[in-house]
DNA sequence: TTGTATGCGTTATCAT
DNA sequence: ATGATAACGCATACAA
């Protein structure tokens, strides 16, 4: 004999309440709302009226539990204030919203603990999938227990040797090559490369592409992806004995902006004394002074593509196949690069 | 024909499976994991071993259903690629993550339908609360059915005459005044104001503050918050008969950047011919050419404060009180403003 | 056309 | 110290 609910707090209206009010069973209410089976017109009208009068909204939580999926995915990125990730996020959100999914913003600030915390969302099945663009080195160790067991799209990073499902990234190597060729054709022979974390394939590929196309004398300094890091590395360069570089390739635009600020501080002309190339082509790259020559990356498309791919399978309860999307890049030549000084 | 697998799909390990494996009841497993009541050490060890061996992770969905809350909030904003909202989002995420909450990114692109869709998340109780920074005019109609019934913090907007719970915003009026005073002191007497949507209190307050402090001849053009809109309004100004303004106040930095691009295109010097002031102080404002004089808004703090306030009550199951936080602004004087031309 | 019973996976309540 | 049972609120297989 069912006991009446305690009713301590103002409990939300449930499907049961509506059913009682309309004089039907919860099943019928459910079907009126879902349309998954025919309901007598008059009955349906009564139910709808009760729904409106009582302001009933189905508890999506209960619905999700029953359905076994939440229609929510995660987007794991290191820094939403970086224009690249913001564009990426927009692409992810667009693709997700397009088929009724929502996106949890997992902003990690490059903090492994925070990353782990957010990965627990998928372990606990609160999210149906994850778009993973961590930007942190120990990517593999952190992911290996997840890939293959959960729907994850690895984005912007070329994680190899793992049972990964989906991936989408820009052609980092080719981007590096474009930067290198450009500077070589301008007559530069001695360059500095301010890279991202050496353990990241993306950072390594950009640097390698640059070196192979530049074919000159290259010194390489490792940093994080942050503006601050670009500034520090640039300072380190300038303060080293016998610094003689005429060109700098920064692993992303944020670092390039940091480097640019330092060059300005030191009274060095860009590109008069030193040419500077970035990577990403975030909005500010075309607005800063001088406008930055940089490798354009289709951030929005990367996010949109990866998410659409992921959800195509997740939404059907299928297991995503292994795939690797390589998106094209191109060089945006602006005013931060010029002929090598004599 | 014998059935191989009774289950259609590989079902995740449940608390029941662990209980069976450990030879205890689900209740005990639950208590071992939560520590909410004493469990025999040996029993607990057996349970923990089973948990590890089977890779059990509690279904947070079921947990949420039982608990009546999800530990997720929404963040509704129009445009994550706008540096202001990105900073705001970072503040929200920080405050939420700090006490174990996650954030759903509700990016609306100023689309009312999309906004409504996301507001349904709170109606369906999939999220415990919402940080609302829509930036769209019909804020009130859209919100009136929600405020007071659900935990919502209205951010960056001064919604008056509504049963709102929490709100946090910059001092828009004072910001407008700072811009107006600055230009007046530089000798400007004729200005153009490129405002945001007239129906938005924030936009109206910024414009009013400007007019009251500037005390000169002001023409006012209404736009959206977008860069494109700033460009269009600037063009419209320049092409009007007898245009004679020496200063422009844009309602936000994005619009200022749009206006700046148009001024450059037309060969007008900034600030030589026209001085320009923005609002927000997003990162690019200090990097563009010339660096933009602008009203600084504490975007990160607005997000963090509002979220911390909201969650303080939500996490305790209490109803948030009505409150209104007004955060201070200040003027960042850079190179886009100068003395009025003779 | 409609209703009953059951399950989704967890935790709180009550019992032992 | 541990377990059985009843919710949480919905959807669905099965019955009528």
CATH number at residue A42: 1.10.260.40
Nucleic acid strand D within 7 Å of A12 CB: yes
User: Model pTM?
Assistant: 0.95
Is A103 touching B (CB cutoff 8 A)? yes
Number of Cβ atoms within 10 Å of the Cβ of A42: 8
Length B26 CA → D4 C1' (Å): 10
CA distance B92 to A341: 48
Q: Let me know whether A167 and A306 are in one domain.
A: yes
pLDDT of residue A241: 93
Length A318 CA → D14 C1' (Å): 28
Residue A104, Cβ density class (10 Å: 0-12 exposed, 13-18 middle, ≥19 buried) = buried
Contact: B257, A287; criterion CB under 8 Å: yes
Q: Let me know whether A157 and A10 are in one domain.
A: no
Domain for residue B318, yes or no? yes
Domain for residue B291, yes or no? yes
Nucleic acid strand C within 7 Å of B63 CB: yes
Q: What is the pLDDT of residues B79-108, one digit of tens each?
A: 999 999 999 999 999 999 999 999 999 999
Helix (H/G/I), strand (E/B), else coil: B211: helix
Spatial CA neighbour of B214 closest among B222, B206, B223: B206
Q: Let me know whether B166 and B311 are in one domain.
A: yes
Q: What is the pLDDT of residues A235-289, one digit of tens each?
A: 999 999 999 999 999 999 999 999 999 999 999 999 999 999 999 999 999 999 9
Domain for residue A179, yes or no? yes
Residue B220, Cβ density class (10 Å: 0-12 exposed, 13-18 middle, ≥19 buried) = middle
Q: Let me know whether B163 and B116 are in one domain.
A: yes
Are B158 and B147 in contact by the 8 Å Cβ rule? The answer is no
Q: In which domain, by residue range, is B30 found?
A: 1-56
A187 Rama class: left (phi>0) / alpha (psi -120 to 50) / beta:
left
pLDDT (average), residues B124-152: 87
Q: Let me know whether A151 and A35 are in one domain.
A: no
Q: Let me know whether B131 and B19 are in one domain.
A: no
B202, A85, A280, A287: CA torsion to nearest 10: 10
Contact: A284, B289; criterion CB under 8 Å: no
pLDDT of residue B163: 74
Which domain CATH number covers A278?
Answer: 3.40.50.2300
Q: With contacts defined as CB-CB under 8 Å, which chain B residues touch A289?
A: 287-290
Mutate one of B149, B265, B284 to test the A interface: name it (highest A CB count within 10 A).
B284
Domain for residue B61, yes or no? no
Domain for residue A338, yes or no? no
* Token pair belonging to A316: 């059907």
Domain for residue A341, yes or no? no
| Smallest CA–CA distance from A11 into chain B, residue | B68
Q: Let me know whether B115 and B166 are in one domain.
A: yes
pLDDT (average), residues B288-302: 97
Distances (CA, A) of B70 to A102, B12, B104, B233, B312: 15, 20, 12, 44, 15
Mean pLDDT, all residues of chain B: 93
Q: Let me know whether B36 and B91 are in one domain.
A: no
pLDDT of residue B9: 53
Total of domains in chain A: 3
Q: Let me know whether A176 and A279 are in one domain.
A: yes
Domain for residue A337, yes or no? no
Contact: A61, B64; criterion CB under 8 Å: yes
pLDDT (average), residues A145-151: 89
Spatial CA neighbour of B33 closest among B12, B19, B23: B19
pLDDT of residue B159: 80
């Amino acid at each position: 004999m069912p006991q009446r609910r305690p009713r301590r707090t103002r409990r939300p209206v449930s499907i049961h309440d509506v059913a009682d009010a309309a004089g039907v069973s919860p099943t019928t209410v459910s079907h009126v709302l879902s349309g998954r089976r025919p309901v007598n017109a008059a009955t349906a009208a009564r139910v709808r009226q009760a729904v409106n009068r009582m302001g009933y909204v189905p508890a999506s939580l209960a619905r999700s539990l029953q359905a076994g999926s939440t229609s929510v995915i995660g987007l794991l990125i290191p820094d939403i204030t970086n224009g690249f990730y913001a564009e990426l996020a927009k692409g992810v959100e667009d693709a997700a919203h397009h088929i009724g999914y929502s996106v949890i913003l997992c902003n990690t600030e490059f903090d492994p603990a925070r990353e782990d915390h957010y990965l627990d969302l998928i372990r606990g099945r609160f999210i149906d999938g994850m778009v993973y663009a961590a930007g942190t080195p120990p990517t593999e160790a952190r992911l290996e227990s997840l890939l293959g067991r959960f729907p994850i799209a690895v984005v912007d990073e070329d994680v190899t040797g793992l049972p990964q499902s989906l991936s989408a990234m820009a052609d980092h190597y080719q981007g590096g090559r474009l930067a290198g060729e450009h500077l070589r054709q301008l007559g530069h022979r001695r360059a500095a490369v301010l890279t991202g974390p050496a353990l990241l394939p993306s950072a390594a590929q950009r640097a390698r592409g640059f070196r192979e196309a530049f074919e000159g004398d290259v010194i390489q300094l490792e940093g994080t992806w942050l503006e601050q890091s670009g500034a520090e590395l640039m300072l380190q360069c300038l303060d080293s004995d016998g610094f003689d570089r005429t060109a700098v390739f920064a692993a992303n635009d944020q670092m390039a902006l940091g480097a640019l600020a330092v060059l300005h501080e030191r009274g060095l002309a860009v590109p008069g004394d030193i040419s500077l190339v970035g990577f990403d082509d975030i909005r500010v790259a075309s607005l800063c002074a001088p406008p930055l020559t940089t490798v354009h990356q289709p951030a929005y498309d990367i996010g949109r593509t990866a998410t659409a791919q992921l959800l195509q399978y997740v939404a059907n309860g299928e297991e995503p196949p292994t795939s690797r999307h390589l998106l094209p890049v191109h060089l945006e030549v602006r005013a931060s690069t010029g002929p090598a000084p004599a």
